[in-house]
Amino acid sequence: MSLQRYRRKRQFDATREPRGDKGVGGSRRAIFVVQLHHASRRHYDFRLQVGGVLRSWAVPKGPSLDPSVKRMAVEVEDHPLDYADFEGDIPKGHYGGGHVARFDSGVWSSDGDVEQQLADGHLRFELFGDKLKGAWHLIRSQRNARQPQWLLIKDQDAHAAAQREADDLLAEVKPPPGGRNPARTARKPAMPPVRKARNGDAGGHWASRALALPQARRQAAPRGPFAPQLARLGTSVPAGEAWLHEIK
């Protein structure tokens, strides 16, 4: 594992990407990071710390939480560990030019010898991130290609979810400059069906349930804005187990 290829591809006087001069921490757990990269072709960069570098794969469609989905992951050059903190723009015309945003990060582990598993072409591992959790597989493809191709597959466990894509989890990812949504290729979620009102009553079954409450009565909707509900001073706290109290 070496950063020679990484450094040869970049001009560090023009890009903010780290050179990778920092050493490896002593007892820290192995980290992972997934970055959304708006380069010439939009893709996700999937990176696992192995030793003193981030082993890296470009995943065009991003990780899927559906175990039946096999995502192509193209192996690329190793990256330095401090690349896990990199976000921002790589200048156009330079290698990987475009916007980089962190999609997810955390720590990861594997029960076996990671180097040997990678050499054998099947890495079994577990992620502990905010969006990506549970057991995963990286399996090397036998297809002849200019760069080694792998398959990234979610294991069938409690964190698996049918038909869930990385683009479905993009709510907290910063959009690139220009205001474009990073989920521009994401499927639009299905809108919930609209329940028709019954007997001309807007709100349908909710209105009937509200009227069934004790002392409920039908009234016309008020005109204009609602008055704000303000906190009131009191001399005692509400009683009962349904309340939680916090001292300010």
- Return the active site residues: 248
Q: What single-letter DSSP state applies at residue 34?
A: E
Tokens representing residue 248 in the block: 């300010």
d(CA 176, CA 35): 12
| Contact present, 119 and 50 (Cβ < 8 Å) | no
d(CA 60, CA 64): 11
d(CA 21, CA 208): 68
Residues 6+ apart with CB under 8 A from 2: 53, 78
